[in-house]
Structure 1
Amino acid sequence: MKKIYILLLFILFYPPLYAQKSEQNLITEGVNLHDSGEYQKAIEKYQQALSVNPKSQQAIYEMALSYLELKDYEKASEYSTQVIDADDKNLSMLAYCVKSEALTEMNQTDKAIELLKEAIRKHGDHYLLHFNLALNYYKINDTGNTLSHVKKAIDLNKSNSDAFLLNAYALNDVGLWVQSILSFQMFLLTEPDSQRSKNAFEEMLQIMRVKPASEKPVERSFIQQQLYRNPSAIHPDRIPPLTIEQGLNRNYIYHAITTTLDSLKTHNEEPDLYTTFTEVNKAVLTVLEKENDGTKEKNAFWTFYVPFFSHILHSDYFETYCRYISVSYFPESLEWWNNNKAKAEDFLNWFENGDSEIR
């Protein structure tokens, strides 16, 4: 009885502190439900939190996220607008991203783009804002602006797998197929084992001529329906663009690929697909390293991508690396990974904590 009396006194004399704790507990419960896919139950928790504190921007923002997952885009837009209008310094930028996605899903992509531009003016450069802008431009087939904004997103955060994947798609669509190969591999390094990793690896194999293009394009992330034909997914009788772009003579890469493929064919027997991939990949990276002689224009391709992969090529981990990025595609790579735990861990430690060049 005494304990209950003390608790009642605490609530009576410190109601704001007690209410704050209840609000946060409810939000935490809602977030856990959201993460478990229980979006409607999560919303009910946020509504309870708002009954404690009607001005809780965290609860309102989380509501917007859950409505977005429920595909109730009107409500996702409504609640994210409330957070934007409240100008919460911690949540406003994220709310812009939620509202822009809701607008896009309601076929209001132009409004979504203008909203994200407003967010950049208000909050400055942030990789999420630039990535979402790139994604919206990608959806309306504006590849130039897609590449411009996804590059900024990557410059701001080189650990975001989505940005590398979108960059790879856009580069391939404009015929920059060599640059696309390296961006696909950056994506696969950061996300090696998802379904979209398997699809990305398939598209990359087609670009590298390791595997012929199928009649139906490989399924891509970010868009609902495949509306493109890969310009660099090469049929046996089709040659990719070979002109010099960004200081790269793509004819050298094409020649290295075709020469490697020819040398792998012995007695009319086709080599296994994994071996073909590793050998072609090695040939491509070798030529790129040789071409990176210090005379090229200073852009990310020559100053970041090529040195990055050249370092892996000359390390003790190239074979492990090839296994790592192909685990979603080749069952034998997954089997190798499971049977070589020590080597796998050594590679990951080297990649994550190695010398400054690889980082």
Structure 2
Amino acid sequence: MKKLLLLLLLFCFSITSFSQENNLNTTIEKGIAFHDAGEYDKAIKEYEKALEIDPNSSLIYYEIAFSYFSKEEYKKAEKYSEKSIELDDQNLLPSYITLANSLDMQGKPKKALKVYEKAIKKFDNYLLYYNYAFTSLNQGKIDQAYDAVIKAIENNSTHPSSHLLLSQIMDTKGNRIKAMLPLYYFLLLEPNSNRSGKEYNRLISYMDLGVEKTSPTNININVPMNDDSDFSAVEMMISMKKASNSMEENKDKTQLELFADNNESIFSILGELKNEKNGFWWELYVPVFYDFAKSDLVEPFSYYISVSQGENATNWLAENQDKFNQFASWFEK
């Protein structure tokens, strides 16, 4: 009889536990749905209901923190991120990121950097390195930002924002080529977003740098100088190529055609210069773009990363399906 009673109690407890867990998951899912719809207050109310069921859930505390961060209530986001971190389980990484971002948005970048540094000791994650680099750059710690964003890209080379940040860092350092290469890569990954058009125009501005047409027959070339001798030949070639765009033989070419021609020259000379050179720049960016040059893919690549500029690029891609398909197949390698 006692055994039967015990079994009945265990069975009832199991049903109750299952019901509570099911209700908890449903409530959290409702909160996430509200958050994704931009209804952050409703999301937080659902999460608070979930806390009544499980007051020791790091996930719930993190979701509350994230919703408060999204509605720009950074002090509350900081509070709930810390609660999630105190529980020290599988939601530790996103909670660290939300905490550090909340501190940064409150004008506490030094504290934010310390949180990132603590998290980096626990996790080898590209988002930590990226955010650490971003905050470091804003604090004027250029070399620290550079080292961190390189680690972010090595950790995940498909993260567009890391390449964009590296380009901005190299722009700050005054290195045109090293600002252009990650910008090409960013546009390869993200050709037509809200920020793509602006960054495309920045890429074009690098090509124009140091080239001034003073009269119909006179062009002044001033090659930007920096301490990076590896890319000095490319610096010279870009300026010379840009200057040649106004020559008689190129007068009937469109801006997109000239852009593709310039890219062909840049990528080809980069590959020729590589030889035995090693290191991040020569092993990540140069092989990709030189492969485009060798595989006759520079033209479709150039139009693909130009789609933010309007219908001329998209029309070309539609009218040259074979070339575009050949380029698209490169992604499948």
Shorter-chain TM-score bucket reads 0.7 to 0.9
Q: Which of 263, 268, 271 matches 2:244?
A: 263
Q: CA deviation at 1:169?
A: 0.6
Q: CA deviation at 1:41?
A: 1.5
1:107 aligned onto 2:128? no
Q: CA deviation at 1:87?
A: 0.6
1:11/1:31 CA distance change after superposition, 3 Å: farther
Partner of 1:241: 224
- Per-residue displacement from partner, 1:122-145 (whole Å, max 9, x unpaired)? x13211111110010011122111
Partner of 2:91: 91
Gap runs ≥5 in structure 2: 1-9, 213-218
1:144/1:13 CA distance change after superposition, 3 Å: closer
Match for 1:110: what amino acid?
K
Preserved CA contact (<8 Å) 2:47 2:63:
yes
1:311 aligned onto 2:291? yes
Q: CA deviation at 1:196?
A: 0.7
1:338/1:41 CA distance change after superposition, 3 Å: farther
Counterparts of 1:1-359 in structure 2 under 5 Å?
13-88=14-89, 90-121=90-121, 123-209=122-208, 239=222, 241-245=224-228, 247-250=229-232, 252-267=233-248, 269=251, 271-294=253-276, 296=277, 298-340=278-320, 343-348=323-328, 350-354=329-333
| Number of residue-to-residue matches in the alignment | 317
Q: CA deviation at 1:336?
A: 2.8
Percent sequence identity over aligned pairs: 27
- Per-residue displacement from partner, 1:5-32 (whole Å, max 9, x unpaired)? xxxx987652111111111111112112
- Per-residue displacement from partner, 1:232-265 (whole Å, max 9, x unpaired)? xxxx9784533451x5142x22332233233322
Measure, in 2, the Cα distance between the counterparts of 1:255 and 1:178: 11
Measure, in 2, the Cα distance between the counterparts of 1:10 and 1:204: 67
Match for 1:165: what amino acid?
L
Partner of 1:227: none
Gap runs ≥5 in structure 1: 1-8, 214-235, 355-359
1:239/1:142 CA distance change after superposition, 3 Å: farther
Measure, in 2, the Cα distance between the counterparts of 1:248 and 1:330: 35
Q: TM-score, normalised by structure 2?
A: 0.87
Measure, in 2, the Cα distance between the counterparts of 1:147 and 1:80: 27
Q: Specify the SS of the correspondent of 1:195.
A: coil
Measure, in 1, the Cα distance between the counterparts of 2:73 and 2:314: 39
- C-alpha root-mean-square deviation of aligned residues, in Å? 2.5
1:72/1:345 CA distance change after superposition, 3 Å: farther
1:48/1:305 CA distance change after superposition, 3 Å: same
Q: Specify the SS of the correspondent of 2:309.
A: coil
- Which has the larger helix fraction? 2
1:51/1:91 CA distance change after superposition, 3 Å: same
Preserved CA contact (<8 Å) 1:243 1:249:
no
- Per-residue displacement from partner, 1:214-241 (whole Å, max 9, x unpaired)? xxxxxxxxxxxxxxxxxxxxxx978453
